[in-house]
Structure 1
């Protein structure tokens, strides 16, 4: 297996795990990057740029990272709160008056970030064409009644999270989340990540597609609990309704979809861009730091924990970030970040100074803990 890039002394286990991902776990094209205390210590890539192609993956190859987008997008309201422009304990309707309809007056800004808003589904899903219009998703969420009393329980807002967050950012700043990321995060950091892929960068993004687990990996996979299986098989479950808020789901390789800005699901990044972002949340990277230490502590303080009404399994959330736990095992108890359905992962671990990014063009049936990403996390843990 030809692997490109560099690994600093002590992090060789990450390279070994990366090779095994291709040899045993079915990776076709992927990259992993790790920073420690703001300095890059792992930068590896291999395979093909497109899941169905032969062009080699290059240093700057980027991929759609699906829900790993949420972790990048979450930094925007946290930065606005840090500057005093957004109150996390204020009602969403204070900034977005139309949102108050149908009993949502008591939904707080923090409920959007900790998945307690009670709005994971749409009674009338929107179409792919509507999803590309930045006004249609927020309007649909504003017209939706909560499916539980806001603030009393939690459930993963798989797609609606993006419309809730984006409209809040627009009401406060006059600009979309993608614009903020470009100007205040990716630009200053020189990080290769986008929410709304510019035409000039479109050639860097590979094609993604579904890949099946190799037989060896499938044999090692634990059988899902019956309740989880039933939730995904029941078209009327909150699980399926949450993931079907856009129906049918857009073609993720469509240039129009990639050029749009959906903060829940269609960010595009290199592994280095994702890791560099997280490194700058917990420390300086080339003189740039995104979040203050106090904001990091607020972001990773547990806000929601226990059985997730959408994902069914137990999950833990801070403010916009998944926390270390059985559903999303990161590096250690203080880690915070976000996986992307199908494989990608980004997180930071303040205690060790580690920031991690993994992107792939081969999407598996995993929602949170993909075995390829987890193999790399275990290797990082062994190295530190």
Structure 2
């Protein structure tokens, strides 16, 4: 049974969510939509646990995979706001060991826009324990980049959090989770956690890889292979993993919290602007670089932490999680799931809301959006009618 609510005008969203469970494409998920400062959809269905004894509820936390990355970026930007870091100072000025292998010109800006040349951990890290964050940081510091920093981009699929953590530790002595827990999380009012505390563990959903997908044959496989285990239920469902910080992938969150955050991304009087200040807020939500992303295999635009085109500001995660702000309709949406498969489920939800989750460069998107019409309110009205 689907539990929760969908306001008038959002019946089609509930219908799609119900169908995904009826067809067996979903085993446990949460869906939330926020608009004009309030939640207009909050739906839950399926199970939280692998034994299917505990229903998914509105308070269920689940690992979001790469939806984690914008929050890593916010941790770095909070430190920039306080003057502890600078976007364009070489990382090696804070972390001297990082200069090895030709990385002496890498900046925090390169890292946040996925241009540092380290989209994956080096082969030297292949046998490392995924929970050994010190060894993983050291491996990144010692490795040569895969391309000259600043000359190309590719999502730093597994390395994003460890890079920012290494920079923070070297510059300030604080860890990624220190800044998130003390500054970012309370400032934004998030029900989302790195290193899930003991008292929140009972809310966490077990992840379940789909048997219909051979993960070793997916295009993303080379970027996730080192260190091994990020799709392994034995690891990702363990207490040790849930209470660790693997910043690129293991933020645990509710759908409502993610949708509520994305809905307020552009608010000039919102908590995000208060946390970052006007300049960094603008850099977090506007395109900073557009080009071919070698990991995604397509042209796209990165902000300092998010993907943006003319239709949305968004981030998705391997396994099917997705969160976005619709620039045409003004709603924030999050679809979070424990059933690790593709993004077709979130895409079908997006379609009935009038959104498109295709990843394209912002400049390429312009013509499409102009033809679709420029009146956002008219589009939103039509979406509510559907």
Q: Name the structure 2 match of 1:346.
A: 323
Counterparts of 1:73 and 1:51, CA distance in 2: 29
Partner of 2:109: 110
Name the counterpart of 2:295: 310
| TM-score, reference length from structure 1 | 0.83
Please say if residues 198 and 259 of structure 1, whose CA atoms lie closer than 8 Å, have aligned partners that are also in contact: yes
Deviations along 1:76-119, one digit per CA (max 9) or x if unpaired, are: 12233334332212211122121111110111111101111111
- Mapping of residues 6-155 of structure 1, within 5 Å: 6-24=5-23, 26-121=25-120, 122-127=122-127, 129=129, 131-155=130-154
Question: Does the CA contact (< 8 Å) of 2:128 and 2:136 recur in 1?
Answer: no
Please list every run of 5 or more consecutive structure 1 residues that lacks an aligned counterpart in the other structure: 219-228, 325-332
1:223 corresponds to:
none
1:1-384 matched pairs, under 5 angstroms: 2-24=1-23, 26-121=25-120, 122-127=122-127, 129=129, 131-212=130-211, 240-249=221-230, 251-283=235-267, 289-324=274-309, 333=310, 335-349=312-326, 352-364=329-341, 366=342, 370-381=343-354, 382-383=383-384
Describe the shift of the 1:350–1:289 C-alpha distance in structure 2 as closer, same or farther (beyond 3 A). Answer: farther
Q: Distance in 2 between the 1:177 and 1:321 partners?
A: 18
CA spacing shift, 1:135–1:199, aligned 2, 3 Å: same
Query: Are the counterparts in 2 of residues 71 and 337 from structure 1 also a CA contact under 8 Å?
Result: no
Cα pair distance change 1:286/1:245, threshold 3 Å: closer
User: Residues 138 and 353 of structure 1: is their aligned pair in 2 closer, same or farther, counting only changes over 3 Å?
Assistant: same
Deviations 1:25-67 (A, max 9, x none): 6111111112223322211111111244232112211111111
How far apart in 1 are the matches of 2:260 and 2:353?
A: 16
Query: Quick one: distance in 2 between partners of 1:292 and 1:38?
Result: 21
Please say if residues 30 and 337 of structure 2, whose CA atoms lie closer than 8 Å, have aligned partners that are also in contact.
yes
* Structure-1 separation of matches of 2:271 and 2:107: 35
Task: State the alpha-carbon separation in 1 of the partners of residues 274 and 334 from structure 2.
Answer: 18
Q: After TM superposition, give the deviation of residue 132 of structure 1 in Å.
A: 1.6
1:289-337 deviation digits (Å, cap 9, x = unpaired) = 544454343123333434322333333322121224xxxxxxxx15223
Gaps of 5+ in 2: 355-382
Scaled by the length of structure 2, what TM-score is found? 0.82
Could you say what secondary structure the match of 1:281 adopts? coil
CA distance in 2 between partners of 1:70 and 1:286 (Å): 19
CA gap of 1:359–1:288, structure 2 versus 1, over 3 A, is same
**SS where residue 346 of structure 1 aligns?**
strand
User: Superposition RMSD on alpha carbons, in Å?
Assistant: 2.8
Supply the distance in 2 between the matched residues of 1:296 and 1:352 (Cα, whole angstroms): 21
